[in-house]
Every structure is written in C-alpha cells, then in structure tokens.
C-alpha cells in the first residue's frame, strides 16, 4: 500500500525533562489515544529499556509484552536492500544496470536496479489495488506468486519517469527479490536468512512465506471492521501478497540488533553502506520531511539528531524502527491496530510521533512534536478505507 506521509511539526510547549520512564509514559499515551496495545524496546549502548501498554488480546485482557513477535511489514525492505548491496560488492549485481539485464521478462525502459531500491522507478504500486474489505479477506488465505505481483504492478499507470522523483512502490521490492533469486539461484528468503538473519543473530526473526501463523508469543492484529468498527483479528494471514516488500515477522530487540549491525558496518562494506545512505528527498525540495536511500530512510530532528531506519505496516500490525548514527540510540515500537482512522485528525499517530521524538530528543524548551509524522513509507495506509 502507498506510503504514509507525515510531517514533523513543532510548536511552543512546556519543557519536560527526559527520564528513564518517559518511554513508558509515551506508550501509555498511545494506548490512551485508542491503540489497543503498543510495545517497544529502547536501546542506548548497553542500556535496554523495554516498555508496553495495553492489551495483546482485547477479549481476554492479556497484556501486551515488549518481547512479542510482530509483523514488521516494509522493514523487510531494509533486509532485501542489504542482500542486494552484498551482491553488488561481490560483483554479481550492478546497481546501475537496467533491470532487464536480470529480468528480461519484466524489463522497463530506463529503470535500473538502484531505482527499484530507492523508489524512483516510476513503476506503479501493486498494493494500491487493495481497495475493499473483500480484497483483504480474499488475500488472507490465498497464495500469490511474486511474478503475479510484479505483473500487477507493471500493469498500473506509471507514477513518473525513471529516476525523476520519489514515489513509494512495493512492486520495486518484488522485482528486487526476483533479481536476488535470478542471480543466486536460491530463494530470496534463503539469502536473507544466510546473509543477514543468522549473521546478525536475529533468533526471533522469520520470513513466513505462505505459512499464515505467527509462532511464539504475539499480539492480535486488529482492524476496526465496517460497518460498526468491531475489532477483527487478522494475525493469521498468508503474507505471500507482500513477499519481499513486507512479509517479515520480528521483535523490537531483533530489529534494534539488526540496525545496530547494519549501521555499525557489520553487514556491509563501507562503500556499500555509503550507497545505502545516499538519499533522495521523499518530498521534492523539502529535506526536512525525510529522505530515502536504498531500503533505508532518514529523518532530521530539530534537536540536531538524524534518525535512520524504516517503518512497516500490514493488516493489523504497524512498526517504527528508528536509530541514531552507527546504531547509537535506538527505538523499535510496535502497534497492534491499523486502518483505524480515515479523517484528518489522528491522536494515535500524534502520540506515537511525540513518543519517538521525546525518546531521541527529550522535550526541549519551546519544542513539542504535535503532528503525526516522520515521512515514512508503510504498507498499510493506502486508499483502503475500512474504518467508518
């Protein structure tokens, strides 16, 4: 689904000292704003701060826990881009080669591998075709092949000329996954396990493929279902519809460990990490709205901190994973409801961004985050309107 574009807005507000309990207070505010359950792990060097608020199951009242597994959606893209850059370092993939060199059946004039990874290909976003509750239910137990997803995306109207501007497209990462498979002769999931997950010690991270279940402790995945808005649990879902654009299950601790290894230079050579961090503005002429590299985005905060990472969203689960330079101060935060808001006011998003801002910057005198945002691409907010 299309990217959730949000902007950081700061207005005068009372100064508030940052304390070790600020993260917990932030999660409590997110829960109070209407999120059934939210959990997070902050990391600052060796200091780990787990926090959680609300319910993992609204029927039983079971509390959510910070170690829960969670569908992390588009954060999968950082893993895919990491593998692609490793293949580039090995001389097996040329980032500036046309995609037709590797996938002649999906060739698009002027589109390179790099453009798939930084969302400047102009190729349509296949998840924009998910438009109704019926579409969601149709996908829940259906296996969709990646070639089908690629053809669907390529059949859509172009969003621009190749390389001209940034436009979020999940189709690009389906094509990237197919390139990995073509070059290596092995499943893209195998390459991610072998090159990234095992190497970084991510023991609670999984690519489920067509298996619809989340194994181990996890929350429900809620959507307010029309017409009455009753919460429906979609935690059992065949994620083949998202594949390399967003099928991953992970935990906040594993995400922090992954980005710490990545940004600390343990997964990529310096030249490839520099390529990953070479960005384009997500909003032309507005770098303050965030920029996107190769499977990695960055947002500058007004306290002088720039955070790197990604977010992701699938049906019922949303995740933010943000990190300082070289994986210094880190925060991975997960919410267990999506598609809950269709109007201009979103108190849950406001509280979420307040929490992220407060964690990295504290509450500086005269500055307070008031709008939802970090221009962060998510799988879950597109034209699909489920909440009334």
Lowest-confidence pick of 15-29, 55-69, 202-216:
15-29
| Average pLDDT over the chain, rounded to an integer | 89
Q: Average pLDDT, stretch 167-195?
A: 98
Residue with tokens 């519809």: 241
**Which stretch of DSSP H or E encloses residue 274?**
helix 270-276
Residue with tokens 């990391």: 43
At 364-386, the pLDDT tens digits run 433 444 333 353 434 345 445 45
Lowest-confidence pick of 140-144, 217-221, 329-333, 348-352:
348-352
Contacts of 200 (CB under 8 A, 6+ apart): 257, 258, 261, 262, 266, 267
Q: Average pLDDT, stretch 351-371?
A: 71
CA atoms of 342 and 85, how far apart (whole Å): 38
CB-CB neighbours of 323 under 10 Å: 27
pLDDT for residue 218 is more than 70: yes
Burial class (CB in 10 A: 0-12, 13-18, 19+), 134: exposed
Q: Residue 320 in contact with residue 353, Cβ under 8 Å?
A: no
CA 194 to each of CA 174, 188, 227: distance values in angstroms, whole numbers, following the listed order: 19, 10, 45
Known catalytic residue at 74: yes
Q: What percent of the chain has pLDDT over 70?
A: 88
pTM, two decimal places: 0.92
At 249-273, the pLDDT tens digits run 999 999 999 999 999 999 999 999 9
SS3 319: strand
Q: Residue 223 in contact with residue 316, Cβ under 8 Å?
A: yes
Q: Give which of 316, 318, 315 is closest to 353, Cα–Cα.
A: 318
Residue of 18, 21, 53, 74 marked catalytic:
74
Q: Average pLDDT, stretch 128-134?
A: 95
At 18-45, the pLDDT tens digits run 344 899 999 999 999 999 999 999 999 9
SS3 265: coil
Strand segments (E) across 196-316 = 222-225, 230-233, 249-250, 280-281, 291-292, 297-300, 306-314
CA atoms of 189 and 184, how far apart (whole Å): 11
Sign of CA dihedral 54, 56, 57, 62: negative
Place domain 22-361 in its CATH homologous superfamily: DD-peptidase/beta-lactamase superfamily (3.40.710.10)
Instruction: State phi, psi for 306 to the nearest 5 degrees.
Output: -110, 130
CA atoms of 127 and 25, how far apart (whole Å): 35
**Which stretch of DSSP H or E encloses residue 50?**
strand 47-54
pLDDT, greater one: 7 or 202: 202
């Amino acid at each position: 689904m299309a990217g959730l574009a949000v902007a950081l807005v700061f207005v005068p507000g009372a100064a508030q000292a940052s304390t070790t309990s600020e993260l917990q207070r932030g999660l409590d505010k997110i829960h109070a704003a209407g999120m059934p359950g939210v959990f997070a792990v902050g990391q600052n060097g060796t200091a780990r701060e787990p926090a959680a608020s609300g319910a993992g199951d609204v029927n039983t009242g079971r509390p959510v826990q910070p170690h829960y597994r969670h569908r992390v959606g588009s954060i999968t893209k950082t893993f895919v881009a990491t593998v692609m850059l490793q293949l580039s370092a090995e001389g097996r993939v040329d980032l500036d080669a046309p995609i037709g060199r590797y996938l002649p059946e999906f060739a698009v004039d002027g589109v390179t591998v790099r453009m798939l990874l930084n969302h400047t290909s102009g190729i349509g976003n296949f998840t924009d075709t998910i438009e109704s509750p019926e579409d969601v239910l149709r996908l829940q137990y259906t296996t969709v092949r990646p070639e089908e997803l690629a053809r669907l995306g390529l059949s859509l109207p172009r969003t621009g000329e190749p390389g001209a501007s940034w436009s979020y497209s999940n189709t690009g990462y389906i094509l990237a996954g197919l390139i990995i498979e073509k070059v290596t002769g092995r499943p893209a999931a195998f390459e991610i396990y072998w090159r990234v997950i095992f190497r970084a010690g991510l023991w609670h991270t999984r690519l489920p493929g067509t298996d619809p279940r989340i194994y181990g402790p996890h929350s429900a995945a809620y959507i307010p279902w029309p017409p009455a808005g009753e919460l429906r649990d979609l935690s059992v879902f065949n994620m083949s519809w998202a594949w390399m654009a967003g099928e991953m299950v992970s935990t906040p601790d594993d995400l922090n460990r992954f980005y710490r290894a990545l940004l600390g230079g343990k997964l990529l050579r310096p030249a490839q990490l520099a390529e990953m961090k070479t960005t384009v503005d997500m909003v032309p002429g507005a770098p303050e709205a965030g920029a996107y590299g190769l499977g990695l985005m960055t947002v500058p905060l007004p306290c002088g901190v720039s955070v790197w990472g990604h977010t992701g969203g699938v049906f019922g689960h949303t995740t933010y994973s943000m990190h300082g330079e070289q994986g210094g101060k880190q925060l991975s935060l997960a919410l267990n409801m999506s598609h809950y808001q269709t109007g201009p006011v979103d108190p849950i998003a406001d509280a979420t961004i307040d929490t992220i801002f407060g964690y990295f910057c504290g509450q500086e005198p005269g500055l307070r985050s008031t709008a939802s945002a970090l221009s962060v691409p998510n799988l879950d907010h597109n034209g699909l309107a489920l909440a009334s």
